Structure 1
Amino acid sequence: MKKILAIVIAMVMVLSLSVSVFAEEIVVFNNPEGEAFSDLLNPWDFYGIGGFWGRAAANVLDITIDEVKEIASAGGATFTMVFTGTEYGDSAPNLTFDFSDPQAAAQFVVTDNGDGTYTATAAFDDLVAAWEANGKTIDDIQNLLVQPNFSDFKLISATISTGEDAVEVTPVEDETPAEDETPAEETPAETGIVLAVLPMAVAAAAA
């Protein structure tokens, strides 16, 4: 009886999967109170990692340049920051590897959270594309920098999410098609992984 129950539970768990495979969120900065940096005084200043221009604010992220290169090479990653500040003009925050001219950067998409904080996200793929368009390679990366373009900037958190392009395992919805419709064809991305994992889960539960 216990084995039967274990098998049923295993089947339910596998069939209810709806997660991004291999997705990971790397916290590179966290201060719930918000932190202002002594040498990030102007909206066009910056923070990050790599020590650009010898600034203290350019060494506040908990990540190494080698790790940044790996993330940039893998593709599909995003950089998200939560912060407070005052909007300055029409310029969005920028994510960049360098402030050399011409500057290769990816713009953040900013959301007002309605509580005095903002959330902004930029895609590493956009940054890498702009970087390589300027004749640079991943091996040339020496910094990872954020230009807030907000006055009175205080950083609350910064995270890098990887695996955004990984296959998603999504349960098939229980819907009956109309008479003039044919059922949508199931794709390997929707069913293949579940069908591959199910026998192993059942076998493990029955052992």
Structure 2
Amino acid sequence: MDLAGELWDVFDDDAVIADREAGVWAAPAKVHPVKFEGGFYRSAGHLFQHRSPQGRPVIVQAGQSPTGIDFAARNAEVVFTAQTDLDLAREYYREIKERAAAAGRDPESVRVLPGFTPVTAGSAAAVEALEAELDRYVDIESTLKDAAVQVQADLSDLTSTRRSRRTGCGRRRTCPRTSSAAADTATTTTSCRRGSRCAGSWR
């Protein structure tokens, strides 16, 4: 990341002149070649394209290992995560913010982007019925094959055991963006169970 940052900053924002008549593309004084020597990489020179309008790309990190969390706290501007438990999601949020502060960064500069699939309907009962219907479409064998690839382990022994589908803790939350009046009418009620698709609000 240190090397990438230096390479992104080689060109000043106004370095490119693009003067065809003079045959000058960029002002030499506004191009700053790097001479980088780090623990793993060495680089000298510069990129062959000027800076983008925003200067640097947005740094997005996805990963929940201790190493990934540490990297995110030090470098990421956006952290993508998918938690299946509301309490764990809040704990993850707090850990990212605390580690960012410990690294000397403003915690508010790090955005946590939760991945979840909300199930919405006109009432809590309708949400539960819809979620149960969606769960019936899940193919256990295919899911186990995908999981085996992710964890790099043989899960074939589990195919003979058809586990019952999750029942959750039965908690429900309304969408945090809606008003209490809207919640009272149950127009935006979502199912929020342990292990379910919607993690609700993290704050």
Relative to the length of structure 1, the TM-score reads 0.23
Higher helix proportion (structure 1 or 2)? 2
Relative to the length of structure 2, the TM-score reads 0.23
Structure scoring higher RCO (CA < 8 A, sep ≥ 6) equals 1
Higher strand proportion (structure 1 or 2)? 1
Larger radius of gyration: 2
